[in-house]
Structure 1
Amino acid sequence: MSLTRRRTAAALLALPLALSATPALAHGGGGRLRPRTLHIAGDSTAAQKYADAAPETGWGMALPFFLGRSLRVANHAVNGRSSKSFIDEGRLTVLLDGVRPDDLVLIQFGHNDEKTEDPARGTDPYTTYQAYLRQYVEGARARRAEPVLITPVERRRFAEDGTAKPTHGAYPAAMRALASEEGVTLLDMQALSLARWQRLGPDGTLPYFNWLEPGESPNYPDGKQDNTHFRPDGAVDVARTTARALLDARTLSPRDLRRLDEPVPGSWITWPPA
């Protein structure tokens, strides 16, 4: 074989390796490479917040700080939604319309599924909750995207002895069971956040949640004692944990991520006009 033919053959063999070396990029139209997108389906703990809600912050607002430039976030999470109401309002359809092959669909519900007194939102952990979650999984897979189930991040609740208490009942276990049954990547944020709150303790978690003194924020003139929603530091912490969990699950690679071990100040968070 001539030198020229050997070089040509070597180049052709190396081509797939060169493409696989950019895992955060997917093929677009005309053979072009495009950034992969992480689509978030969830509730107020992940959602985009606006100027009239500051300093309340969803962890989806902080996730881009930990992603490389070849990854994008499409945050569809909305306050007050459950796995059921998100679908009933047509929001899953809108999300899936933007999903392309090799994208990720991050699915975190539970907080509002627990409100079983509300027929528009409440679900049963091992029946309707799992049935609705399957629709997200199947929708992502039908578009050759990867679904990722995320157990609901824990609230700030402590026993008198300072032990962090779980608050989501059977919903996290039901999601774990579904992930195992369907072979879906699971990020167990309920367990990870509960352990994190335990390490920080009742006082150490206060700056992470939307606890405000009267007059501290013009949006909350009478103050606020919110053990569910985050301030910037809490959202950054949860987003960092989510990014690390995606790495541990091998859903993302080290080259897809940044700043996992670097300070990310809460002051980087901004709230657009309502």
Structure 2
Amino acid sequence: MKWISLSLMMLISLNCLAQKPTIYGIGDSTMANKVKPEENPERGWGMLFPQFLNDNITFDNRAVNGRSTKSFIAEKRWDEVYKLLKKGDYVFIQFGHNDAKDKDSLRYTNPHTAYRHNLIRFVLETREKGATPILFSSVSRRNFNDAGVLLPSHGDYTLEARLVAQEYNVPFIDMEYFSELLEQSYGPEKSKQLHLHYKAGEIPYYKEDKADDTHYCEKGATEIAKIVARELKKTKLDIVKYIK
């Protein structure tokens, strides 16, 4: 009888473990994990986001540098996520930077057609599995003009992400807006601290001058991850209970 009880307890424990939800992050370099992080100062916000989660959920960052919705699908990366999805999981969807590459036929998407329909596909197929999609607009670039005005970065891609979210009742985190506020709070010069601005030889990883206003250093990625956690806590989703 004791053995039966012990076996039952083990079965319950294994079942509970198997049901631990996963957040899958799909997107581009601004979210992605980076190679050689012990040397490379570049960070995607997805690398820092797990620090804002408790131990009852897993964050599986599938975002990859340089991907658009089109190339992410074409390379079967979405298929890999789709196969793993289970009820209770979440998918963070954030594309746009590379969808706008109109000199690259493998990545470019018209925001009003292919980009829109790719987002809809991610949403509907996530829901097919009983998981929850969450749409994010792309983060802003550090793009100040000479007057100190931060100029918009993503045009109709942000618009279409918002429209898909409205039409399909998908939770939407407007990261372009919140990252704009972050950049503006630092100002045209100090906002370099959020990104990759280094003189040649300042750190071993960069042999030449580096001035990257799209990607983040650890400080910038941490700030973005913090915003994501903050905005998720404002939703009515069950994911709130997994955020510290």
Q: Equivalent residue for 2:149?
A: 163
By how many angstroms is 1:61 displaced?
0.1
Q: Judge conservation of contact 1:156–1:228 (CA < 8 Å) in 2.
A: yes
Q: Please state if 1:110 is matched with 2:96.
A: yes
Distance 1:28 1:109, change over 3 A: farther
* TM-score, normalisation: structure 1: 0.80
Q: Which whole-Å CA distance do the structure 2 matches of 1:71 and 1:213 have between them?
A: 40
Q: Please state if 1:39 is matched with 2:24.
A: yes
The one-letter code matched in structure 2 to 1:46 is M
Structure 1, unaligned runs of 5 or more: 1-26, 259-274
By how many angstroms is 1:35 displaced?
2.4
Identity of aligned residues (%): 36
Q: Equivalent residue for 1:134?
A: 120
Q: Which whole-Å CA distance do the structure 2 matches of 1:28 and 1:83 have between them?
A: 38
* TM-score, normalisation: structure 2: 0.90
Q: Which whole-Å CA distance do the structure 2 matches of 1:98 and 1:152 have between them?
A: 25
Q: Which whole-Å CA distance do the structure 2 matches of 1:105 and 1:256 have between them?
A: 15
The one-letter code matched in structure 2 to 1:154 is S
Q: Please state if 1:93 is matched with 2:46.
A: no
Structure 2, unaligned runs of 5 or more: 1-11
Match of 1:203 among 166, 173, 189: 189
How large is the RMSD of aligned CA atoms in angstroms?
Answer: 1.8
Tell me, what secondary structure is at the counterpart of 1:122? coil
By how many angstroms is 1:33 displaced?
6.3
**CA deviation vs aligned residue, 1:218-250 (integer Å, no higher than 9, x gap):** 221112100011000000000010111111122
188-197 vs 248-257, which moves further: 248-257
Distance 1:134 1:230, change over 3 A: same
Q: Which whole-Å CA distance do the structure 1 matches of 2:231 and 2:189 have between them?
A: 26
Larger Rg computed on CA atoms: 1
The one-letter code matched in structure 2 to 1:107 is I
Q: Equivalent residue for 2:130?
A: 144
The one-letter code matched in structure 1 to 2:70 is K
By how many angstroms is 1:163 displaced?
1.6
Tell me, what secondary structure is at the counterpart of 1:126? coil
